[in-house]
A = this chain, B = another copy of it.
Amino acid sequence: MAEEREGAYLQIGEVAERTGVTQRTLRFYEEKGLLKPPTRMEGGFRLYSEEDVRRVLRIRRLRDLLGFTLAEIKEMVEADEVKMQLRAEYRKDADAEEKRRQIQRAKEVTEKQLALVRRKMEQLAELQRSLEEKIATYDGWLGELDRYIASRAGR
């Protein structure tokens, strides 16, 4: 097996294990632009960082639990890239007006996502309420039935 914890760089197999996705999925995400091409060994093996692992986990959460498509997730990931980019050159102060426009754009994208998330939460809350109501109905029925069964047995 591969050496353990070599400087914090992980091969695709270990990333797959840690994130619970297959190697195919990792290559697929790279192909689709969801993961930036990782560094490689001389032989061509991919070397991932812990940051990459976190990103994969985030992608899966957005997909599995929240039902976003990979296209939507890609947008979000790209918005993150912009943020990192801006943060990195924040001090370098190249053309303040241009930077302002970029930030404004990134903010608008984020606000759209937020609006979407809020809509989803409202819908989920409604669904939650109706499910709780349903369970209450079942409990009521069960109680009645149990009383009925008990009364029959008692006779």
Classify chain A's interface size.
Answer: 35 or more
Asked whether A120 is an interface residue with its Cβ less than 8 Å from the other chain, the reply is: yes
* Interface pair A123/B90, CB less than 8 Å apart: no
* Interface pair A114/B97, CB less than 8 Å apart: no
For the complex, what is the distance from the CA of A149 to the CA of B100, rounded to whole Å? 10
Contacts of A104 in B (CB 8 A): 142
* Interface pair A135/B110, CB less than 8 Å apart: yes
Residue from A83, A90, A93, A114 with most neighbouring chain B CB atoms (10 Å): A114
* Interface pair B83/A146, CB less than 8 Å apart: no
Asked whether A124 is an interface residue with its Cβ less than 8 Å from the other chain, the reply is: yes
For the complex, what is the distance from the CA of A67 to the CA of B110, rounded to whole Å? 20
* Interface pair B128/A124, CB less than 8 Å apart: no
For the complex, what is the distance from the CA of A100 to the CA of B138, rounded to whole Å? 10
Asked whether A21 is an interface residue with its Cβ less than 8 Å from the other chain, the reply is: no
* Interface pair B138/A107, CB less than 8 Å apart: yes
Asked whether A66 is an interface residue with its Cβ less than 8 Å from the other chain, the reply is: yes
Measured CB to CB, the closest approach of chain B to A84, in angstroms, equals: 12
Asked whether A131 is an interface residue with its Cβ less than 8 Å from the other chain, the reply is: yes
Given A67-B68, A103-B142, 18 other A-B contacts at CB below 8 A? A62-B127, A65-B120, A66-B120, A66-B124, A67-B67, A86-B141, A90-B141, A96-B148, A100-B146, A106-B138, A110-B131, A110-B135, A113-B131, A114-B131, A114-B135, A117-B131, A118-B128, A121-B124
